[in-house]
Amino acid sequence: MKGVYILKIILKKNQEIIIGKLGKINFKKGNYYYVGSSQNNIDKRIQRHKRKEKKIHWHIDYLTTNAQVEKITAKKFINYLKEKECLEAKKLLKKYEPIKKFGCSDCKCISHLFFSKNT
Ligand SMILES: [Zn+2]
């Protein structure tokens, strides 16, 4: 099954993390929302995001492998097309603070990762 997903990632402490070529980013304690899509197996992709042990491939992997990440949950939109991924990112941008250039190297979005202190 293909589709679009939104991960919710809880970071327990303020943390400085090097995100590949983006460099060092200061992540504040709180909740992060990440939008992605899988064109073949969405469940397998989400399971991969939840695993700490993996080969780093995407920006998000630097965050999900961090020791201070407490919990990752996912909301799925089955059969949503890839374009919907960016529409979901735009919706999150209205509510939350973007981590600029994160996870969006192949589209024109400001970010696909957003920070929320409380919710
Ligand atoms: Zn996008």
Span from the CA of 110 to the centroid of ligand 1 (angstroms): 7
> What per-residue confidence (pLDDT) applies to 26?
97
Span from the CA of 82 to the centroid of ligand 1 (angstroms): 9
Q: For every residue of the chain, which 3-state class applies, written as one string?
A: CCEEEEEEEEECCCEEEEEHHHEEEEECCEEEEEEEEECCCHHHHHHHHHCCCCCCCCHHHHHHCCCCEEEEEEEEEECCCHHHHHHHHHHHHHHCEECCCCCCCCCCCCCCEEEECCC
Span from the CA of 61 to the centroid of ligand 1 (angstroms): 17
pLDDT in tens for each of the 119 residues of the chain? 999 999 999 999 999 999 999 999 999 999 999 999 999 999 999 999 999 999 999 999 999 999 999 999 999 999 998 889 999 999 999 999 999 999 999 899 999 999 999 87
